[in-house]
Amino acid sequence: MRMLTPTPSPIGRPSYSQTMPCAAPSAGGARRLVRTALGVWGLDALTDEGELIVSELVGNAVRHTRCRLIQVRVTRLEAGAVRIAVTDTSHAPPVRCQAGAEDVRGRGLAVVAAVACRWGADPLPWGKRMWAECALEPPP
């Protein structure tokens, strides 16, 4: 599987993005991108949360869309906060499920909501962007 090289944003807020196949193995590449960006910014304390968030967002794109490619972006919002986003070409809105005790699926967005300070989805002309924010200190 070929993944494109992470690209730093030349303008705006500091960010790194990478386009990758919409396939389960891309979760590993997405975690590496998050880990690397957080390390560059000195935000290693957010690595566990960031890797969990991106794994769930990539997993949801893989399971619930028929996209060929996804884009993963990590953006530094301020000194101690980041936004992790996964963009796909599906217009289907995300649905937060109520998983039962015996269910093996259906917890992805619940996990994201539990770990993130904020999360959401932005409709785009070509699909949607799922995002979640985490911070060293939660916003007031």
Look at residue 3 and tell me if it is in a domain: no
Beta strands of 4-126 (E only): which ranges?
7-8, 15-21, 69-78, 81-88, 118-124
Look at residue 71 and tell me if it is in a domain: yes
Which CATH number belongs to the domain containing residue 53 in this structure? 3.30.565.10
Give the pLDDT confidence of 93-120 residue by residue, as tens digits.
876 666 555 645 556 788 899 999 999 9
Domain of residue 25 covers 14-135
Per the CB < 8 A criterion, the answer to whether 30 and 55 are in contact is yes
Look at residue 9 in the predicted model and tell me its pLDDT: 61
Distance CA 86, CA 53 (A): 10
Look at residue 37 and tell me if it is in a domain: yes
Look at residue 2 and tell me if it is in a domain: no
The pTM of the full predicted model, rounded to 2 decimals, is: 0.85
Look at residue 1 in the predicted model and tell me its pLDDT: 46
Question: Residues near 30 by Cβ (< 8 Å), separated by ≥ 6?
Answer: 18, 20, 54, 55, 57, 58, 72, 86
At residue 32, does pLDDT exceed 90? yes
**Average pLDDT over the chain, rounded to whole?**
87
Look at residue 4 in the predicted model and tell me its pLDDT: 47
Look at residue 111 and tell me if it is in a domain: yes
Look at residue 8 and tell me if it is in a domain: no
Instruction: Give how many domains the chain has, as a whole number.
Output: 1
- DSSP letter for 72, please: E
Per the CB < 8 A criterion, the answer to whether 87 and 71 are in contact is yes
Look at residue 111 in the predicted model and tell me its pLDDT: 85
Structure tokens at 70: 């996804």
